[in-house]
């Protein structure tokens, strides 16, 4: 096996395949959608498998703790102190930029949805400016001094709810009693190449319909405002962790998309 790798890498060099050195950026684009359609806030409506028709007005979520794994299984963990990001469809801030990523050929990516307990329990020291950002983007869960991991809002109608009715899905951890932080791992399909000259863009498609209509079925007709539910919040957390998929990877200098 070692010999084989050695031979392959030698021949690669012989073929002139560049050696990756230094560091680069990795940009991750979160392209929000609804079951294959573009997500247009307060504009389009979407009917799901539960025959509920949703018009979405807000989709914000926290992504965190990014880890990139290369072809040999080496893992690069992005620094925790700067590893929390809020993506927001309404502000158009849907790109996460990881800087100073060591050169490599990355084949998979893992990240969290939300804020883990370890981070929360760092107190003021751990939250820093992230707290400010969370308040500004409606992601601070102020009554429990914590974070909404997901803020998904809009209106809906169904067979029995005929007038457009507000729905609000706020999901986060429940104090010390229920941890709703979840992680997801995605194979990149194409190697993402990072070096001094290469900064890839990983384009994710985020299917927001999965939040209610994913592995777990959540009916808005039954309950339209879900914030703290021991039964439903963990199901929504699982659904949300499954809404991400890699559409494609652009290898290049990171400037074109």
Partner 1 sequence: MRYLYWIPLLLALGSCSDDGEYIEVEQDERLTVTLPSNFPPMVYDVEENPPTKFGFALGKKLFYDGKLSANGFISCGFCHEQRFSFTHHGHQFSHGIDDLEGTRNTPSIANMAFFSEFAWDGATSHLDLFPIIPITNEVEMGETMTGVLQKLQLDETYQKEFNAAFEEGGVSHENFLKALAQFMVMMVSYNSKYDKYVRSEDGVSLTEQELQGLNIFQEKCASCHTTDLFSDGSFRNNGLAPNPSLNDIGRAEVSGSVNDNYKFKVPSLRNVALTAPYMHDGRFGSLESVLNFYRNGVQDSPTLDPLLKSENGLGIALTENEEQALIAFLGTLTDEQFINDERFAEY
14 vs 125 by CB, closer to partner 1: 125
Q: What is the C-alpha to C-alpha distance for residues 198 and 192, in angstroms, rounded to an integer?
A: 9
Q: What tokens does 235 get?
A: 């199901």
CB of 172 to partner 1, least distance (A): 11
Q: Is 49 in the site for partner 1 (CB under 8 A)?
A: no
For residue 178, state whether it binds partner 1 (rule: CB under 8 A): yes
Residue with smaller CB distance to partner 1, 160 or 177: 177
Question: How far from 33 is each of 2, 62, 74, 223, CA to CA, in Å?
Answer: 44, 17, 32, 23
Q: Is 172 in the site for partner 1 (CB under 8 A)?
A: no
Closer to partner 1 by CB, 51 or 142: give it: 142
Shortest distance (Å) from residue 160 CB to partner 1:
25
Interface mask toward partner 1 for 124-153; x: CB under 8 A = xx-xxx-xx--xx---x-xxxxx-------
Nearer to partner 1, 24 or 83 (CB): 83
CA pair distance 30, 23, nearest whole angstrom: 23
Q: Is 243 within 8 Å of 205 (Cβ atoms)? A: no
With contacts defined by CB under 8 A, how many residues of the chain interact with partner 1?
29
Residue number, 1 or 124, with CB nearest to partner 1: 124
- Per CB under 8 A, contacts with partner 1 among 207-246 are 228-231, 233
Asked if residue 20 binds partner 1 (CB under 8 A), the reply is: no
Instruction: Provide, rounded to whole angstroms, the least separation between the CB of residue 217 and partner 1.
Output: 19
Output the CA torsion sign for 229, 126, 62, 202: negative
Judged by beta carbon, residue 26 or residue 212, the one nearer partner 1 is 212
Nearer to partner 1, 22 or 128 (CB): 128
**Residue 15 touching partner 1 (CB under 8 A):** no
Q: How far is the CB of 220 from partner 1 (least distance, A)?
A: 18
CA distance 170 to 233: 8
**Which chain residues interact with partner 1 by CB under 8 A?**
120-125, 127-129, 131-132, 135-136, 140, 142-146, 174-178, 228-231, 233
């Amino acid at each position: 096996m070692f010999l084989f790798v050695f031979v392959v890498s030698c021949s690669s060099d012989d073929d002139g395949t560049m050696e990756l050195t230094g560091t680069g950026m990795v940009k991750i684009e979160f392209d929000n959608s609804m079951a294959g359609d573009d997500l247009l806030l307060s504009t389009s409506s979407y009917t799901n498998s539960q025959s509920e028709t949703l018009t979405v007005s807000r989709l914000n979520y926290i992504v965190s703790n990014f880890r990139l794994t290369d072809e040999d299984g080496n893992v690069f963990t992005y620094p925790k102190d700067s590893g929390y990001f809020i993506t927001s469809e309404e502000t158009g801030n849907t790109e996460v930029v990881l800087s100073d990523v060591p050169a490599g050929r990355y084949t998979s990516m893992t990240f969290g949805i939300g804020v883990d307990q370890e981070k929360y329990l760092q107190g003021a020291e751990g939250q820093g400016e992230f707290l400010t950002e969370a308040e500004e983007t409606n992601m601070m869960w102020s009554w429990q001094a914590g974070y909404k991991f997901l803020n998904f809002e809009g209106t809906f109608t169904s067979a029995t709810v005929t007038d457009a009715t507000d729905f609000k899905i706020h999901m986060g951890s429940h104090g010390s009693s229920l941890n709703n932080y979840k992680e997801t791992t995605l194979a990149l399909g194409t190697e993402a190449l990072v070096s001094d000259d290469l900064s890839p863009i990983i384009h994710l498609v985020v299917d927001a319909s999965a939040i209610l209509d994913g592995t777990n079925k959540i009916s808005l007709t039954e309950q339209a405002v879900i914030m703290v539910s021991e039964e439903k919040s963990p199901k929504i957390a699982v659904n949300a962790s499954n809404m991400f998929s890699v559409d494609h990877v652009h290898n290049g200098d990171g400037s074109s998309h």
